[in-house]
Amino acid sequence: MKSYQYIIDYFENSPTIIQVVWTMSGVFLIGVVILTIYLKYLRSRLRKDEKKVAEYKREYESDLITYLYAGNDEEEISAEQQIIIDKLRSCASDEFKRSIIVSKLLRLRNDISGEMADAIQKLYFQSGLIAYALKRLKSKKWYVVAKGIREFTQLRVKEVNDEIVVFVNHPKREIRKEVQLYLVTLFHFDGLKFLDILQTQLSEWDQIQLLEVLQRFDEQEIPDINPWLKSKNNSVVAFALKLAKIYNQFEVKDALIELLSHQQKNIRVDAIHVLSHLHVVEAKDILKNNFDNLSEDEQIEFFKMLENVFESSDESFLLAHTTHQNFEIKLLALKIIKILAIEKFVNLKNFSTDDDYVKIYEFLENN
């Protein structure tokens, strides 16, 4: 008791700063103890959850399989199937279980097609899971909405289209991306209509994903991409350029040529690239005549184009640029000359004493 009183006296007689230090130490100590206990709890909960997840996964997996094989041709839904639907419906009210059921459905739906895929969708509707996903769309948390849309995409639920298109210009990038993927996965090229009203930028990542989804479909009937090439949204133009290249849209060449004077450099460069891919020879002369006004990136891209579409009339132009200060242009100019007129190429041996020139020349000589 005496020592206890001593500590209190000591504390009270110490300068303020020491009192603060001891108080903070006390707080930290309590913090350490609490976090230690909580960490113990957290780790065992995580371990338990993991076990539970595995258990539920196995259970729902086998339910799902039973359901899929319990169908018959006479009934819409067989009695055996109805039992499983009812069971899953009651499990679905628990969020933890629901997330496991949904993830199993999605995983399987992703990998199979045909009758069984339809059966999975039917299960999704019948067990009431769809209602939970619809509720997600109303959430204030962006990631809940995004997850909801994703679910509809993976299960190909076309019926909720109207609820989803309202998010096309949502301020959150992740939601917009899910909307785009939904539209394109379900409605293919028709889904791309959102590009007409898109006000935000379509990131490179979004573009790649959309193209990848589109490439899964066999249909090659492309809508008219002219309006997108003329869009005020530069990212839509960039995306349309990719479409033009992948689907060989030769008929939009006029719009492509117009893009050569677009105000954004990377679009001009991409336009040259696509024109070169499509072998649009008339673009070559336009660029050639304007060569000195182009940025270096465009010049390089133009030389790559020349590699595809050169003619003998380009010879003097090429010769003039064998001493261009850019390495790549020098290389391409010499390379094309070698193909075009080997005798001219031989004469160029000591044309320049620049190190790079000599190196490039020797390389081409030996290859």
**Chain residues in the site for other proteins (CB under 8 A):** 10, 18, 21-22, 24-25, 28-29, 31-32, 35-36, 38-40, 42-43, 46-47, 50, 57, 61-62, 64-65, 68-69, 104, 107-117, 143, 146-147, 150, 173-174, 201, 203-206, 208-209, 211-212, 215-216, 235, 242, 246, 327-328, 331, 356, 359-360, 363, 366-367
Retrieve residue 117's tokens: 């895929």
**Cβ proximity to other proteins, 307 vs 356, nearer residue:** 356
Long-range contacts of 48-52 (CB under 8 A, 24+ apart): 52/96
Long-range contacts of 314-320 (CB under 8 A, 24+ apart): 314/288, 314/340, 315/340, 315/341, 315/344, 317/288, 317/291, 319/344
253: left (phi over 0), alpha (psi -120 to 50) or beta: alpha
**Cβ proximity to other proteins, 211 vs 319, nearer residue:** 211
**Cβ proximity to other proteins, 288 vs 352, nearer residue:** 352
Retrieve residue 41's tokens: 């709890």
Shortest distance in whole angstroms from residue 293 CB to other proteins: 22
3-state secondary structure of 157: coil
Cα(first)–Cα(last) distance of the chain, in Å? Answer: 96
Question: How does DSSP assign 51-108, residue by residue?
Answer: HHHHHHHHHHHHHHHHHHHS--SS-SS-HHHHHHHHHHHHHTTSHHHHHHHHHHHHHH
Shortest distance in whole angstroms from residue 81 CB to other proteins: 15
Spatial distance between the Cα atoms of 98 and 151, rounded to a whole number of angstroms: 12
Shortest distance in whole angstroms from residue 65 CB to other proteins: 5
Shortest distance in whole angstroms from residue 114 CB to other proteins: 3
Residue 247 identity: Y
**Cβ proximity to other proteins, 45 vs 281, nearer residue:** 45
Spatial distance between the Cα atoms of 46 and 236, rounded to a whole number of angstroms: 44
Retrieve residue 367's tokens: 């290859």
**Cβ proximity to other proteins, 160 vs 329, nearer residue:** 329
**Cβ proximity to other proteins, 254 vs 363, nearer residue:** 363
**Cβ proximity to other proteins, 187 vs 288, nearer residue:** 187
Retrieve residue 205's tokens: 């990542």
Q: What are phi and psi of 170, to 5 degrees?
A: -60, 140
Shortest distance in whole angstroms from residue 308 CB to other proteins: 18
Shortest distance in whole angstroms from residue 32 CB to other proteins: 5
Q: What are phi and psi of 40, to 5 degrees?
A: -55, -50
Shortest distance in whole angstroms from residue 313 CB to other proteins: 28
**Cβ proximity to other proteins, 204 vs 251, nearer residue:** 204
Shortest distance in whole angstroms from residue 282 CB to other proteins: 27
